[in-house]
């Protein structure tokens, strides 16, 4: 059989449990690092695609106290306000909610004393929360509060306006958090899994001799499950599900490797010979 060059050799060695085992010496140390990065990047793809598709963001998760200030009085006043092409047509300044924390055309001094609230200006709104977050969000031309019929719809509208101008910030934050989670998960899976596979060398029947072989075997075993997790994540994004599929898939693959090879080269090759003769 012709020996395939890297990276094609890696993809050939992830197809079956037997190939996963017999291909455990195919990667150099540098190639192990490349495949580790590749597997981590695969798991990140659903996060990237989900962020590109996202049109809303639960801003209430980082500014909870501010959204508590939004009430029915706020909705009624904003509905009656004249918004056209991203501009608010209301003269004078006034507080518009029962708590005195949300207003229109508030001066800097008026809004300075508010810990959590919203100041609707002519072309932008200032969002402030007691947690320390404060954002200035310009209205887009399609922002029309008259379309909101409930307080929840108004909150979603405010979140949507914020997301349109802070999508890069959200995407970077989500990518950073997800990358950290996936990186830690993969390190535990690969380093930990490789260690336990390496321990089988204590059995005289095992053909595994080095830790590098064990790491190579685990990376081979992660290939299919990571790809499956990526596909599922693209269909229905859930980072926990993606990582669970990756982990559970590795466990099943290692179980399959043991059943079909007993971690022994002679046993694995004899099975191949029997299959070829059959």
Q: Are residues 31 and 63 in the same domain?
A: no
**Residue 7 belongs to a domain:** no
Residues of the chain with pLDDT under 70: 1-2, 55-57, 271-278
Domain boundary among 140, 164, 188: 164
Q: Are residues 152 and 235 in the same domain?
A: no
Give the torsion sign (CA, 242, 243, 244, 245).
positive
Q: By the 8 A CB rule, do 222 and 190 touch?
A: yes
Q: Are residues 260 and 129 in the same domain?
A: no
Q: Are residues 132 and 268 in the same domain?
A: no
Q: Are residues 244 and 265 in the same domain?
A: yes
Q: Are residues 101 and 228 in the same domain?
A: no
**Residue 3 belongs to a domain:** no
Tell me what pLDDT residue 273 has: 55
**Residue 224 belongs to a domain:** yes
**Residue 152 belongs to a domain:** yes
Q: Are residues 29 and 102 in the same domain?
A: no
What angle, 0 to 180 degrees and rounded to 10, lies between the N-to-C axes of helices 239-261 and 265-277?
Answer: 80
Q: Are residues 194 and 125 in the same domain?
A: no
Tell me what pLDDT residue 36 has: 97
Tell me what pLDDT residue 278 has: 47
Domain boundary among 145, 164, 183: 164
Residue 71: domain span: 59-164
Q: Are residues 95 and 28 in the same domain?
A: no
Number of domains in the chain: 2
Torsion of CA 233, 235, 238, 241, to 10 degrees: -60
Domain boundary among 146, 164, 182: 164
Q: By the 8 A CB rule, do 155 and 67 touch?
A: yes
**Residue 195 belongs to a domain:** yes
**Residue 5 belongs to a domain:** no
Q: Are residues 31 and 100 in the same domain?
A: no
**pTM listed for this prediction:** 0.74
**Residue 33 belongs to a domain:** yes
The string of pLDDT tens digits covering residues 249-267 is 999 999 999 999 999 998 8
Distances (CA, A) of 252 to 20, 79, 143, 196: 12, 57, 51, 15
**Residue 12 belongs to a domain:** no
Q: Are residues 269 and 141 in the same domain?
A: no
């Amino acid at each position: 059989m012709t020996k395939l060059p890297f990276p094609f050799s890696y993809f050939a060695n992830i197809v079956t449990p037997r190939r996963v085992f017999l291909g455990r010496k195919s990667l150099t140390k540098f190639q192990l690092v490349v495949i580790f990065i590749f597997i981590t990047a695969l798991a990140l793809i659903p996060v990237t695609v989900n962020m590109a598709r996202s049109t809303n963001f639960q801003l209430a998760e980082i500014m909870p106290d501010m959204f508590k200030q939004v009430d029915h009085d706020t909705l009624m006043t904003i509905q009656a306000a004249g918004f056209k092409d991203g501009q608010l047509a209301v003269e004078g300044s006034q507080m518009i909610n029962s708590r005195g924390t949300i207003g229109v055309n508030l001066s800097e001094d008026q809004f300075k004393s508010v810990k959590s609230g919203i100041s609707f200006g002519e072309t932008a709104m200032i969002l402030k929360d007691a947690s320390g977050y404060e954002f200035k969000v310009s209205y887009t031309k399609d922002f029309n509060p008259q379309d909101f019929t409930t307080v929840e719809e108004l909150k979603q509208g405010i979140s949507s306006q914020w997301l349109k101008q802070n999508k890069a910030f959200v995407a970077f934050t989500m990518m950073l958090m997800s990358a950290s989670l996936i990186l830690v998960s993969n390190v535990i899976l690969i380093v930990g899994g490789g260690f336990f596979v390496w321990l089988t060398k204590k059995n005289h029947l095992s053909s595994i001799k080095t830790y590098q072989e064990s790491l190579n075997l685990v990376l081979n075993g992660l290939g299919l499950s990571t790809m499956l997790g990526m596909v599922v994540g693209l269909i229905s994004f859930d980072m926990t599900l993606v990582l669970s599929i990756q982990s559970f898939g590795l466990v099943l693959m290692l179980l399959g490797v043991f059943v079909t090879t007993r971690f022994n080269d002679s046993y694995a090759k004899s099975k191949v010979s029997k299959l070829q003769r059959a």
